[in-house]
Chain A
Amino acid sequence: MFLKKLLSHGQKEQKVVDGIEQHIRLLARACELFKGALETGDRKLVEEIVHLERQGDAARRDIIGTIYEGAFLPYLRPNLCKFVENVDHVFDLLQETALYFREVALPENIQDVCVQVAAINREMCDMLLITFQAMLRGEDLREKSLAVRIYEKKVDDIKFDLMADVRRLPVRDFWEGKSVADFLTGITSISDFIEDATDSLQVIHLSMR
C-alpha cells in the first residue's frame, strides 16, 4: 500500500492540485459574471452564477474525496481541506449576494461603487490563483499575500463610505432595507474570505518547510 503510494508518483496529489485550480477558476468566472451583472443590470447572469456555484460544490467534493483517499501527507490534509472550504465559503457568499442583487434596486452612485468592489473581488480571485500556483512551486508568498491584503484594505475603505451613503437611502419597508443591507454586507465581505483563503495558503506553505 505504502509503496503503491510512492510509486504512483503523486497522481492523487496532482488530481487535487488540478481540482483546486479548477475550483478557483470557477470562482473567478463567477466573480466576473457578477461584475457584469452589476455593470449591465442583467439579472439573468445570476442564474449562471448559481450554476457555477453548483459546479464549485462538485469540485470541492471531488477534491476533499481525493484528499481523504490518500493524497498528500495526513499532516497537510486538514490545512488543504481548510483552504478548499474557504474558497467554497467565498462561492457561497457570492451566490447569496447575487441572489440579493435580483431583489434590490440601487441608485446609480451606489451601483457604481458596487461595480468597483466587484472588480476588486475579481482581481483578488486572480491573485488567489497566482498565490496558490506560487505555493505549489515553493515560492515566497509574502508579496502575494501583501497584494491581497492591499486589495482587502481598499474594499474596507470603500465599505465605510458606502455604508455612510446607504444610511441616507430611502426604503419602503423593513424587508427592502434588509435586502439592501445584506447585499452590501455580502459584496463587501467577499474580500475578507478571499483574504482568509490566502492566509491558509501561507499556513500550508510554512508547514512543509
Chain B
Amino acid sequence: MWKIASGVFLGWSLGANDSANIFGTGVATGAVRYTTAIVLTSIFVLFGALVEGPKCMETVGELSLLSPVDAFCCTLAGGLTMTALTLAALPASSSHAVVGAVIGVGMLSGSADFSRLYRIVVCWVFTPVCALALAYVLFRVLGYLINRTIPSLTSRNTLYRAGILLAGCYGAYTLGANNVANVTGVYVGAALLSAEVASLVGGLSIAAGVLTYSRNVMVTVGKGIAPLGPFSAFVVVLTAAATLHLFTQVGVPVSSSQAVVGAVVGVGMVGDVRTVSQRMLGKIVLGWLLTPVAGGLLAYALLRVFFS
C-alpha cells in the first residue's frame, strides 16, 4: 500500500494548488471568506470524485503500461512538480504533470501510447480556448439578463453572494470529478486500486490539500491576473466549472488552472484587454509548458535512479 502514498501526496498538492481555481476569485473579491471557501471546496471535491471520478480514470491509466512501482514514480514526480509550482505561487496543472510523468515512464519501458496522448493534448489546447469563449458569452448574456431583470443594488448584492457560492460549489464538484483521475488514475491502470476506491482515496487527499495549504495560490489567482468585480468572479467560476464538467463527460482530465485563466482572460476581454496582466499570464503559461516536461523527466529519473 505504500505505493499509493505518492498519489496521496499528489492529491494533497493538487488540492493546495487547484482549490484556488474554484474560490480564488471569490475570496479575492471578498464575496467568500477563505475558511468558508476551503470547507465547501473540500466537501464538494470529495462528492464530485465519488460520483463522477471514475469517468476519467481509464484515460490516464491507458497512456502507458504501468507496474505498481511505475505508478508510484509517476504520482511522486507529479506531486513534486506540483509542490514546486505551488511554492512559487503559480497555478500549475496536475493533468500536465501526471500525463508528462506517465509518458516519461512509458518511454523508458517502451509502452507509451502517443495516439492517446494526441487526444489529451487536443483537449488541453481546447480547455482555455473553450473557457475564454464561454466566459465571454456568459458575461455578455448573463450581464444583459441581470441588468434587465435585477436592477436593485441590494438584490444584486445578494444575487452575487449566492451566485459565487453556488458556482464555487459546482466548481469544486467538477474539480473532484475531473481531476481525481490525475491523482489515482495510474493506480487503476496498474491494477492496484478499483476505480471506486481510487476515487475515494483521491478525493480525500485533494480535500486534505485544500484544507491545509491553499491560501497562497488562491490570492495569486484572484488578485494577480485581472481586477475582478463580483459579477466577473461569478462568471469566471461558473465558466471554469462548466468547462471541467464538459471535459469530464469526454473522459479527459484537463487543467482547472487553464480553464480558470481562460475564463479570466475572456472576462477581461469584455472590458478592455489591457486589464489582463501580461506578465502574470506569461508566468502561468511558462508554468504550463514546464510542468509536463518536468513531470516526465522527474518520473524518468526516479525510476532510473531508485528502481532500475
Contacts and interface: CB of A to CB of B under 8 A. Distances in A.
A6 B160 CA distance: 10
Interface residues of B, number: 24
B30 A73 contact: yes
B220 interface: no
B29 A2 contact: no
A161 B155 CA distance: 47
Interface string A61-78: 000000000001111110
Interface stretch (B81-89, B145-153, B177-185, B256-264): B145-153
B154 interface: yes
A135 interface: yes
Contact of A6 (B30, B33, B165): B165
B300 to A, nearest CB: 46
Interface in B211-252: 229-231
Interface string A86-111: 00000000000000000000000000
A209 B165 CA distance: 19
Contacts of A204: 153
Contacts of B33: 1-2
Contacts of A207: 229
Contacts of B151: 137-139
B30 A14 contact: no
Give chain A's interface residue range (CB within 8 Å of chain B). Answer: 20 to 34
A77 B151 CA distance: 19
Contact of B152 (A74, A76, A136): A136
A2 B36 contact: yes
Contacts of A138: 147, 150-153, 156
A118 B129 CA distance: 59
B158 interface: yes
> What is the interface of chain B mostly: helix, strand, loop, or mixed?
helix
Contact of B154 (A1, A14, A74): A14
Contact of A73 (B29, B143, B147): B29
A209 B30 CA distance: 17
Nearest to A8: B158
Given A2-B36, A6-B165, A208 B157 contact: yes
A6 B147 contact: no
Given A207-B229, A209-B143, A74 B158 contact: no
B97 to A, nearest CB: 33
Contacts of A75: 29-31, 229-230
Nearest to B32: A2
A54 interface: no
Nearest to A139: B151
A1 B165 CA distance: 13
Contacts of A13: 154, 157-158
B121 interface: no
24 contacts: A5-B161, A9-B158, A14-B154, A73-B157, A73-B160, A73-B161, A75-B30, A75-B230, A135-B153, A136-B152, A136-B153, A136-B154, A137-B151, A137-B152, A138-B150, A138-B151, A138-B153, A208-B153, A208-B156, A208-B160, A208-B230, A208-B231, A209-B143, A209-B147
Given A9-B158, A136-B152, A208-B160, 13 more contacts: A6-B165, A10-B157, A73-B157, A73-B160, A73-B161, A73-B230, A76-B230, A77-B30, A136-B154, A137-B153, A138-B152, A138-B153, A208-B230
